[in-house]
């Protein structure tokens, strides 16, 4: 298995050098990927199976968009992708809300399908948020739509972690 374990911070040697890594199967980082840090590396792979990273759906969509869309009746560059990592949602002090996160998840779904991905075997999301209220239900419904569309089967493991702010734990 060919993999790259990223540094503890977003700084890749050789960034923007257009390296070819066609056998790269796994990318793992210990930081949250919010920009295009992974794009060059992921875009060079043709056998990507696992992204063990934390990212919001829009950032992941922008990263994977660097791969070409699948040609008609061809498997596509993400046909073997089994894991998109942990999709993060932070409301405390952030500008993104539930609507924005769901829209990003929809864009990620489109990017995956256009690149031949229907092979995801697990879904992970991490929510750091203010108190939970009814606004989360449409988001959970969007997650269900996402898993039914890009996953290998509808009953894959779904792991959703929720962290509340300190003031809401008392």
| Region 149-161 average pLDDT | 93
- The reported pLDDT for the residue numbered 96 is 66
d(CA 97, CA 32): 18
Residue 11 in any domain: the answer is: no
What is the pLDDT, as a whole number, of residue 132? 75
pLDDT, residue 91, reads 64
In a domain, 28, yes or no: yes
Domain for residue 9, yes or no? no
64 vs 58: CA distance, rounded Å: 10
Query: Which uninterrupted H or E stretch holds 31?
Result: strand 26-32
Domain that holds residue 70: 22-164
Q: How many CB atoms lie within 10 A of CB 89?
A: 24
| Residue 10 resides in a domain | no
What average pLDDT does range 104-133 have in this prediction? 92
Q: Which residues pair with 123 in a beta bridge?
A: 158
Q: How many domains does the chain have?
A: 1
Residue 36 in any domain: the answer is yes
pLDDT at 123 (0 to 100): 96
Segment 75-99, tens digit of pLDDT: 999 999 999 999 998 765 555 688 8
| Residues 20-71 pLDDT 10s | 666 788 888 776 666 566 777 777 777 889 999 899 999 899 989 988 999 9
What mean pLDDT comes out for the span 8-31? 64
Q: Is the Cα torsion angle 7, 11, 17, 20 positive or negative in sign?
A: positive
Question: What is the layout of strands, in order, in the sheet containing 3-5?
Answer: 3-5, 26-32, 50-55, 86-90, 123-129, 158-164
Alpha-carbon distances of 94 from 10, 73, 90, 100, 128, rounded to whole Å: 20, 41, 6, 11, 10
The pTM of the full predicted model, rounded to 2 decimals, is 0.83
């Amino acid at each position: 298995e060919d993999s790259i374990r990223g540094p503890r911070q977003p700084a890749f040697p050789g960034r923007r050098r257009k390296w070819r890594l066609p056998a790269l199967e796994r990318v793992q980082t210990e930081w949250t990927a919010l920009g295009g840090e992974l794009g060059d590396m992921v875009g060079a792979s043709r056998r990507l199976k696992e992204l063990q990273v934390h990212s919001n759906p829009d950032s992941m969509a922008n990263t994977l968009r660097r791969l070409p869309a699948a040609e008609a009746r061809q498997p596509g560059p993400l046909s073997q992708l089994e894991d998109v990592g942990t999709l993060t949602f932070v409301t405390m002090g952030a500008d993104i809300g539930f609507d924005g996160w769901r829209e990003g998840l929809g864009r990620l779904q489109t990017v995956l399908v256009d690149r031949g991905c229907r092979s995801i075997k697990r879904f992970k999301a991490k929510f750091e948020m203010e108190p939970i209220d009814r606004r989360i239900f449409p988001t959970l419904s969007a997650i269900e739509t996402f898993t039914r569309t890009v996953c290998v089967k509808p009953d894959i493991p779904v792991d959703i972690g929720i962290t509340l702010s300190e003031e809401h734990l008392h």
